[in-house]
Amino acid sequence: MPGQGMSVAVSVKKEPYIELKDVVFSREERRIFDGVSLNIPRGRITAIMGPSGTGKTTLLRLIGGQLKPDSGTIMVAGESVPNLGRKALYRLREKMGMLFQSGALFTDLNVFENVAFPIRVHTRLPDDMIRDIVLMKLEAVGLRGARDLMPAQLSGGMTRRVALARSIALDPELIMYDEPFTGQDPIAMGVLVKLIRDLNHSMGMTSVIVSHDVPESLSICHYACIVSDGQVIGDGTPDELRNHPSAKVQQFLKGEPDGPVPFHYPVVGADKDWGIAGGRQ
Amino acid sequence: MQWLINLGGQGRELIESLGRSGQFLFGALAGVPNIRVGFPLLVKQLYFVGVLSLAIIVVSGLFIGMVLGLQGYTILSDYGSEAAIGQMIALTLVRELGPVVTALLFAGRAGSALTAEIGLMKATEQLSSMEMMGVDPLRRVIAPRFWAGFLAMPVLAAIFSVVGIWGGMLVGVEWLGVFEGSFWGNMQSSVSFTSDVLNGVIKSVVFGFVCAWIAVYQGYDCVPTSAGISSATTKTVVFSSLAILGLDFVLTAVMFGDF
């Protein structure tokens, strides 16, 4: 079986910013990751793709220290995340930004205050300087004019752009995008693709995109890996992945309804359900 | 045998939950508070939890005081001692009804709102995003809400008792014609500051602690779905009410029981 017990490292030319080695993680007796190893290069865009429910978001939470692995090592910027104390972990998180799938804006604060939040908490900058920084960040995502709106007044695409402005407010070294393209219309998707590419290009941030939107992710990433059944089943540059020999990788990339990942959920034989012979096992 | 297994499982879950809630409260309250950040957050929550609860507390206090005046007069006048109505209303409110009814109303109005708000923040990943920004949600979100509930309760209970006594006076003195001098005089001579007023304040402090703890914990620990938030809000009201009534009996037995 491809990837069974195997450790695959993304071939990187640049030094890794994040290193996962033999990571095992289970939740309520279900094994989510079974020895995942992965290197995420500094200053590049890495896409982590895979079918829904394979634990892609869990992987981001492991990197961010919100969850602890059962075993294995997770190094971010040279620090072992699972072994960090509370203070050190919170200090490390100041170098990270994360764009949540829902945007996760604070509903009681307006757009301006949402973006200003991390700056106010972590710095003691005067108000006029905070104002300048917030407006610059909002300008970068094209929403300087929306500064006074409340989150409830924003469309889904705008919410994500404000959340993006907030996550880059402190110029983090690493930014993680959790399903940034899900549920977006084509224009909003195009805007997000452009923003992710531009931010990586202009600020040199290490970017990790977790997504199952194959064309968008492959169009902007430098490296990609596909996670399925707790394993990394394929990795490489977008071109290497497109020519990957694994049938499972090809099924995922081409969106085929049946293949190594079966169309049917495991089920008892049809003969038992309908009383006919030769049912599916 | 299955029932025994289920009982054991439920007992274990209860103990686990108690342990988690204790750990959770310690995480929220331990450490040196940052006054510069924490004080404005506390004031904001005191407004939401305390000031916005005033309407229900004042109206309920007024009507309960008026009912006490009416019932007290009806019963006491049979014995020709309607002049004692003032002390009856004051002692009932200060010792029992003030702390208990305020706490029950507080659990329904503010406790459920706290749980729903925190639960929704969890469901919409606001708490997670705070963590990822290097901000501890236990200190930023939970602690100010807990302290606000804890501090607001004794003040609300005091307001409830004062308004209730005034409502009783309206009915007893203004309407039914009890002599005002005996109404206030009997009250003044029979209500003791230490054994009545202070004990009532202690009760409301205990209820404030328990209600606020239950409300913030249920919100933080809820399953982040609409059904989970709904269940957590219900649990807050039910657990708080039961805890208030149970603790009230224990506290009354300790404070006023003459064993």
Of A229, A225, A212, A244, which Cα lies nearest the Cα of A1?
Answer: A229
Contact assignment for B129 to A104 by CB distance below 8 Å = yes
Least confident range from A117-131, A172-186, B30-44, B205-219: namely: B30-44
Q: Which amino acid, one-letter code, is at B255? A: M
How far apart CA A32 and CA A15 sit, in angstroms, is 27
Over pLDDT 90: what percentage of chain A?
A: 26
Q: Which residues share a beta bridge with A96?
A: A174
Chain A residue with minimal CA distance to B137?
A: A90
pLDDT at residue A263, rounded to an integer: 67
Query: Does A123 lie at the interface with B, CB-CB under 8 angstroms?
Result: no
**With 0-12 CB in 10 A as exposed, 13-18 as middle and 19+ as buried, what is B78?**
exposed
Q: Classify B23 in phi/psi space as left (phi over 0), alpha (psi -120 to 50) or beta.
A: alpha
3-state secondary structure B102-114: HHHHHHHHHHHHH
**Given pLDDT bands bounded at 50, 70 and 90, which one contains residue A278?**
low
Mean pLDDT of A115-133: 91
User: Count of CB contacts below 8 A, A vs B?
Assistant: 46
Question: Is pLDDT at A120 greater than 70 in this prediction?
Answer: yes
- How far away is chain B from the Cα of A243, in angstroms, using its nearest Cα? 36
The CA-based diameter of chain A, rounded to the nearest angstrom, is 77
Residue A177 is classified by DSSP as E
Helix (H) or strand (E) holding A165: helix A156-167
Q: Per the confidence metrics, is the pTM higher than 0.90?
A: no
CA distances in angstroms from B11 to A2, B3, B7, B219, listed in the order given = 44, 12, 6, 22
Over pLDDT 90: what percentage of chain B?
A: 72
Residues of A whose CB is below 8 A from B113 = none
pLDDT tens-place string over residues A136-175: 999 988 889 999 999 999 988 889 899 989 998 988 889 9
Query: Does A191 lie at the interface with B, CB-CB under 8 angstroms?
Result: no
pLDDT at residue A267, rounded to an integer: 76
Query: Does A153 lie at the interface with B, CB-CB under 8 angstroms?
Result: no
How far apart CA B64 and CA B238 sit, in angstroms, is 22
Contact assignment for B134 to A106 by CB distance below 8 Å = no
Neighbour count for residue A276 (Cβ, 10 Å): 10
pLDDT tens-place string over residues B46-71: 999 999 999 999 999 999 999 999 99
Provide the chain B residues 99-158 that lie in CB contact (below 8 A) with chain A.
124-126, 128-129, 131-136
Of A117, A94, A110, which Cα lies nearest the Cα of A166?
Answer: A117
Query: Does B48 lie at the interface with A, CB-CB under 8 angstroms?
Result: no
Contact assignment for A93 to B125 by CB distance below 8 Å = no
Contact assignment for A117 to B133 by CB distance below 8 Å = yes
Contacts of A228 (CB under 8 A, 6+ apart): A3, A50, A51, A54, A248, A252, A261
pLDDT at residue B80, rounded to an integer: 84
- How far away is chain A from the Cα of B129, in angstroms, using its nearest Cα? 6
Query: Does A156 lie at the interface with B, CB-CB under 8 angstroms?
Result: no
Of A66, A91, A93, the CB nearest to B133: A93
**Given pLDDT bands bounded at 50, 70 and 90, which one contains residue B259?**
low
Query: Does A118 lie at the interface with B, CB-CB under 8 angstroms?
Result: yes
Query: Does A208 lie at the interface with B, CB-CB under 8 angstroms?
Result: no
Of B124, B134, B135, the CB nearest to A102: B124
Show the tokens assigned to B34. Answer: 């940052």
E strand intervals along A166-240 = 174-178, 206-211, 223-228, 231-236
Of A93, A102, A121, the CB nearest to B132: A93
Q: Which of the listed ranges A267-271, B17-21, B97-101 does the model predict with the highest average pLDDT?
A: B97-101
Of B124, B128, B135, the CB nearest to A121: B135
Of B95, B125, B138, B132, which Cα lies nearest the Cα of B257?
Answer: B95
pLDDT tens-place string over residues B196-230: 999 999 999 999 999 999 999 999 999 999 999 99
Contacts of B223 (CB under 8 A, 6+ apart): B231, B232
Question: Is pLDDT at A9 greater than 50 in this prediction?
Answer: no
Of B128, B129, B134, the CB nearest to A122: B134
Buried b (16+ CB within 10 A) or exposed e, B231-257: ebbebbbebbbebbeebbeebeeeeee
How far apart CA A209 and CA A179 sit, in angstroms, is 7
**Given pLDDT bands bounded at 50, 70 and 90, which one contains residue A5?**
very low
Number of helices (H) and strands (E), helices first, in chain A?
10, 10
pLDDT at residue A54, rounded to an integer: 81
Query: Does A182 lie at the interface with B, CB-CB under 8 angstroms?
Result: no
Neighbour count for residue B200 (Cβ, 10 Å): 25
Residues of B whose CB is below 8 A from A93 = 131-134
Query: Does A201 lie at the interface with B, CB-CB under 8 angstroms?
Result: no
Buried b (16+ CB within 10 A) or exposed e, B149-169: bbbbbbbbbbbbbbbbbebbb
Q: Is residue A119 a contact partner of residue A125, using CB atoms and an 8 Å limit?
A: yes
Long-range contacts, stretch B176-180, CB < 8 angstroms, 24+ apart: B176/B69, B176/B70, B176/B73, B176/B82, B178/B73, B178/B82, B178/B83, B178/B85, B178/B86, B179/B83
Q: Which residues share a beta bridge with A27?
A: A30
Q: Is residue B153 a contact partner of residue B208, using CB atoms and an 8 Å limit?
A: yes
Question: Is pLDDT at A281 greater than 80 in this prediction?
Answer: no
pLDDT at residue B91, rounded to an integer: 93
Neighbour count for residue A277 (Cβ, 10 Å): 7
Query: Does B32 lie at the interface with A, CB-CB under 8 angstroms?
Result: no
- Sheet bearing A206-211, strands edge to edge: A96-99, A174-178, A206-211, A45-49, A223-228, A231-236
pLDDT tens-place string over residues A39-60: 899 889 999 988 777 888 889 9
pLDDT tens-place string over residues B224-251: 999 999 999 999 999 999 999 999 999 9
CA distances in angstroms from B125 to B20, B44, B103, listed in the order given = 21, 22, 31
Helices within chain B (DSSP H only) = 2-29, 35-49, 54-78, 85-91, 98-106, 112-123, 126-132, 137, 143-169, 180-190, 199-221, 226-256
The ipTM, to two decimals, is 0.77
- How far away is chain A from the Cα of B216, in angstroms, using its nearest Cα? 18
- How far away is chain A from the Cα of B7, in angstroms, using its nearest Cα? 21
Q: Which residues share a beta bridge with A228?
A: A231
Contact assignment for B133 to A106 by CB distance below 8 Å = no
What mean pLDDT value characterizes chain A? 84
pLDDT at residue A122, rounded to an integer: 86
Contact assignment for A90 to B136 by CB distance below 8 Å = yes
Over pLDDT 70: what percentage of chain A?
A: 92
pLDDT tens-place string over residues B83-110: 899 999 999 999 999 999 999 999 999 9
Query: Does B17 lie at the interface with A, CB-CB under 8 angstroms?
Result: no
pLDDT tens-place string over residues B99-154: 999 999 999 999 999 999 999 999 999 999 998 888 888 888 999 999 999 999 99
CA distances in angstroms from B135 to A99, A123, A178, B35, B54, listed in the order given = 16, 12, 19, 16, 32
CA distances in angstroms from A100 to A1, A34, A94, A110, A193, listed in the order given = 33, 25, 16, 18, 16
